[in-house]
Structure 1
């Protein structure tokens, strides 16, 4: 059905009003992970999903201890790991990020704490902000038994703590394969700070990171 412009504009305005950008004054600073064993290594990898990967990558690239962040796809096949395919919401993929980090500086549990305090609302199913579809789901993808234990414990911890009005919807998903997204998606927030979507939806998340976790913010973003 084709909508007249005034009606379409009104509906769009109503949707945006319901999905207001996150504000530092209204977010929940979740507690540190109760289960978060120290890892004796200089490098580790984490994969998480939390809505549009522009903002997820943009926030984590500013976290101290993060070495690199890549935007990509996880959950589906190699054949459908393309932006024009995943947009259908039928490929099984989630827009995800692969984080390379120094666990001596930032722990896996801390990454999950930032994910759900700053980046993604863990109570939303198949959506974040203005984006709707299974490709925008919030998920944790553990890469080993330790990460799986930390992830399960943290979801249980924040669920039992009742920090949110609704139940936790974010899931733990088994690792399949991570496919790096197209080059134009990489470092999108840093390269396009004036992009309308970035300004409205993702820049506020970075402001929340700086407000809630100032000691965790690095001076320059990781590549």
Structure 2
């Protein structure tokens, strides 16, 4: 993703982005999961990688029951410290990811999976989402326990059998070896930069799809 300056011509770029014939990834109505993860705590955590973390975090922060969505990195070697500059090279093994803390009494892991594949990530594009290419933009699920892994693997099979996509499902279930927060300038980026061209082009349509397709799960005010 192209990083941002708050220069005066941002509004001009935003207008160009909004007028361009290019559009965000196609939203689909993914099926209700047949297998879900039984919660074991009052608050649960899930980690998703689905391209640029701005949109992943921005959409999940508007889901009822999500208490916190944090942008960061997952999937690389345990113990290695990285930042955006390092991960952007595409050779660290890390992916841009989001850690979601949620209340399972309000939203289940399976429902988060459904929202993720309906409006956030295309599970058929290998190592890219939208305009962003590289292994750091792959779609991946990082289960934090056996229940989540069982639900994640079952749902990927279910998506492959759904007929919603012509191409095969390439999203992977990967071992969770830890999560590293991104810098403060990457947190709550959609909320703080609503007129950024990237947000207008690629992420605001995802948020609109969440509001339209999942009105019972949508909340207007984002989580902290």
TM-score (norm 1): 0.88
Deviations 1:157-179 (A, max 9, x none): 01012211100000000001100
Structure 1 contact 51–95 (Cα < 8 Å) conserved: yes
Does the CA-based 8 Å contact 1:122-1:168 persist in structure 2? yes
Residue matched to 2:24: 21
Q: Structure 2 CA distance, aligned partners of 1:51 and 1:37?
A: 24
User: Structure 2: which 5+ residue stretches go unaligned?
Assistant: 1-16
What residue number does 2:82 align with? 81
The 8 Å contact of residues 55 and 189 in structure 1, kept in 2 or not, is answered as yes
Match of 2:45 in 1: 45
Paired with 1:71 and 1:116, the residues of 2 have a C-alpha distance of: 18
Show the counterpart of 1:6.
none
CA deviation digits over 1:187-213, x for unaligned, max 9? 000000011100111001000001110
Match of 1:90?
91
C-alpha separation in 1, matches of 2:27 and 2:87: 29
Task: Give the Å deviation of 1:49.
Answer: 0.3
Tell me, what secondary structure is at the counterpart of 1:81? coil
Checking the alignment, whether the CA contact within 8 Å between 1:80 and 1:91 is kept in structure 2 is no
Match of 2:215 in 1: 214
Give unpaired runs (5+ residues) of structure 1: 1-12
**Secondary structure of 1:33's aligned partner:** coil
Is residue 64 of structure 2 the alignment partner of residue 61 of structure 1? no
- Contact 1:141 / 1:173 at 8 angstroms: preserved in 2? yes
Cα 1:37–1:53, aligned 2, differ >3 Å: closer, same or farther?
closer
Once residues 37 and 43 of structure 1 are traced to their aligned partners in structure 2, the CA distance between those partners, rounded to angstroms, is 13
How far does residue 218 in structure 1 lie from its aligned partner after superposition?
1.5
Equivalent residue of 1:85, what SS?
A: helix
Q: Could you tell me which residue of structure 1 aligns to residue 189 of structure 2? A: 188
1:3-40 alpha-carbon deviations (Å, 9 max, x no partner): xxxxxxxxxx9xx86x6313xxx521011110014425
* Structure 2 partner of 1:156: 157
Q: Give distance in 2, aligned partners of 1:178 and 1:161.
A: 31
Structure 1 vs Structure 2 CA RMSD: 1.6
Answer yes or no: is the 8 Å Cα contact 1:41–1:104 preserved in 2.
no
Q: d(CA) in 1 for partners of 2:57 and 2:216?
A: 19
Does structure 2 conserve the Cα–Cα contact (< 8 Å) formed by 1:40 and 1:104?
no
